[in-house]
Structure 1
Amino acid sequence: MLIIDGSQGEGGGQILRSTLSLALVSGLPVRIENIRAGRSKPGVMRQHLTAIRAAALISSADVRGADVGASCVEFVPGEVRAGEYEFAVGTAGSGTLVLQTVLPALMFCKTASRLTIEGGTHNAWAPPFDFLSEAYFPAIRQLGVVVDGQLQRHGFYPAGGGRFHVNVAAATCAQRFALVERGEFSSRRVRAVVAHLPGSIAERELKKAAQKLNWPSECFEVCEASESLGPGNIVMAYLQSAKVSEVFIAFGRHGVAAEKVAYEVVDQVRRYCATSAPVGPYLA
């Protein structure tokens, strides 16, 4: 059994999730110790437990120690099976991180899968759904794996309650993917999303972004997420180039002016455009 020390590096939940992903793909049994030792509340939390259970379900794994607060979990995977699965975090914990735990293994299956996941879809500690659908999935498709998703309901922190679907096509022949340049930009846009908050917040964000970026007015869009169970605000910049798509994000939060949130996105866009790097730090 391979033993992984969860206190290494940042000592966070990504060590647990990455270990589960690699165990599913390789078939190797693992024991993760000192889980999230670097966090103020160490051990397994609900969203991590959902990821463990999701990984166990798709592989009929033998799991020991998977409880909220646990510092050590053993995971012995079986054969990964494609199919229709539903996973619910039950809090504002990230549903997108649960997806990223099981997706690598399902990409190798000979039959298709459809996943429905409930939980946080847009929070500051995980990739928002738009990043997955507009940047991450297109990159995966260049490997020859067809993955797409549909957002049904936004889930902001702290209410959560978001819901999305992801389709993973049956694996065919994976292909080599070399991304060394992004090419010319073909489209660019900024979207400000508000849920159960004044629309003027989004309007102020877009006004500031438009002033700083000097893009045409049609590049800026307000979206009202009225289906969300709780309030939230996010600004996203989408840049499509010849060979890659990127998404840059900033979250509205209490006590921070809308203009500052907009500038956070603008700063990311400027830094990306000022380099020749094909991808930003998160897609990398």
Structure 2
Amino acid sequence: MFKLNQDNMLQIDGSFGEGGGSIVRISSGLACLKKIPIEINNIRFNRKNPGLRLQHLVGINTLAKLTGGSTNSLDVGSTFVKFNPGSEWNTNLNVHIRTAGNIGMLSQTIYNALYLAPPQKYQIHVNGGGTYGTHAAGTSYLSNVIFPIFKNLGYSVNIDVIKHGFYPKGGGKALITIIPSSSFYKNLNLEERGELEEINGHIHVENSLKKPKVAERILSSILQNIKPNLTRSNEIQITTNYHNSLSVGVGVDIWCKYSSGAILGIGTTLGKRGVSSEKVGIIAANKLNFLLESSETVDEYASDQILPLLFVAKGPSKFVIRKKTMHFLTNLELLKGFFKRNFIIKNVENGYFVHIL
């Protein structure tokens, strides 16, 4: 899985674990953090379309610009990457994404690289790309679940969405702003949720769906299908939003805040052609009901994304997850190649207790 070659370059097998693009995003970011060159082969080896997708390619090229680093010749479909991060830290970049390459995934590549960068403001101006698309968290989920968790740990990350973009044409526009800690990062201690304080959400819909009131119908369906014994109506604040965009699209994000400081989301729910607004609302409500009935303190979509920062933080972290996703397990194994940290995962009622030592 990992091997140092004669040039002290860390070689990574991109087909291990879930074998997807997150291996590229995490390892290329951590290469910048650790200031070590890497090689990744067999990228997305078992996927229907192996090799780099557009967002992975844009991400690696952005890191090369960010640090003054270098890569081998790359294109969409490349299954081998050689990346040597530089020692510069450029604080202002412009990035263009053709079609609907995901802006959130790009941000993940960048924020994993900047944990230990000089403590100054880094801004990446993104033109093009998607804010909502398949197999990726929507920007509202990132902004209201992942980034607040980061902020509590001492890491400031923000995506200011100027224009939303949906699959397949994208056309989004955003400003990513990142400020690393000037001292150290806090550990995460969330063994219990505490009391539910509020439920918030955003429903984002392309403008052509305004006349049939798609957003309003989704919201009505969500409210009708939340189990009444799990919450009180005055705790729920979900907004409906319509946007001009190049492609028709629907994205739903809902998150819950607890007295312990825990913030959990249901993961982004997308609308699809042929699926009614009411059905989209039912899907989102069922996810919310499932989350409210669980005892997890970090949701399954955040558990893998927060791991790198918890490994960077000096103190031990403790939290509860409902299940060990393949992304979570893959990221744990990947982090072992970059950090000398131990961890314990114990079975608990309806989930797993994670202790990073």
- Change in Cα spacing, 1:30 to 1:266, as seen in structure 2 (3 Å) is same
Match of residue 280 from structure 2: 261
Match of residue 78 from structure 1: 86
2:34 and 2:238 map into 1 onto residues whose CA distance is 44
Which residue, out of 119, 140, 155, partners 2:165?
A: 155
> Which ranges in structure 1 are unaligned for 5 or more consecutive residues?
none
Match of residue 207 from structure 1: 220
Match of residue 125 from structure 1: 135
1:88 and 2:107 equivalent? no
Match of residue 235 from structure 1: 252
State the 1:158 CA deviation. Answer: 0.9
Contact 1:81 1:106 in 2 (8 A): no
Match of residue 59 from structure 1: 67
Q: Secondary structure at the match of 2:71?
A: strand
2:57 and 2:159 map into 1 onto residues whose CA distance is 23
1:106-121 residue pairs with structure 2 within 5 A?
A: 106-110=114-118, 111-118=120-127, 119-121=129-131
- Change in Cα spacing, 1:164 to 1:3, as seen in structure 2 (3 Å) is same
2:161 and 2:59 map into 1 onto residues whose CA distance is 19
2:252 and 2:218 map into 1 onto residues whose CA distance is 8
1:108 and 1:3 map into 2 onto residues whose CA distance is 22
State the 1:103 CA deviation. Answer: 0.8
Match of residue 324 from structure 2: none
Match of residue 316 from structure 2: none
Paired residues, number = 283
Which residue, out of 30, 37, 49, partners 1:22?
A: 30
In structure 2, what residue type is equivalent to 1:127? A
In structure 2, what residue type is equivalent to 1:183? G
2:138 and 2:238 map into 1 onto residues whose CA distance is 19
State the 1:80 CA deviation. Answer: 4.9
In structure 2, what residue type is equivalent to 1:273? L
Match of residue 280 from structure 1: 299
1:102 and 1:268 map into 2 onto residues whose CA distance is 29
Q: Secondary structure at the match of 1:89?
A: strand
Match of residue 189 from structure 1: 200
Contact 2:138 2:251 in 1 (8 A): no
CA RMSD of aligned residues (A): 1.8
Contact 2:65 2:90 in 1 (8 A): no
In structure 2, what residue type is equivalent to 1:155? G
In structure 1, what residue type is equivalent to 2:290? R
State the 1:108 CA deviation. Answer: 2.0
1:39 and 2:59 equivalent? no
- Change in Cα spacing, 1:66 to 1:104, as seen in structure 2 (3 Å) is same
In structure 2, what residue type is equivalent to 1:216? S
1:85 and 1:245 map into 2 onto residues whose CA distance is 31
When the two structures are superposed, what TM-score results if normalisation uses the length of structure 1?
0.93
- Residue identity over aligned pairs, in percent, reads 30
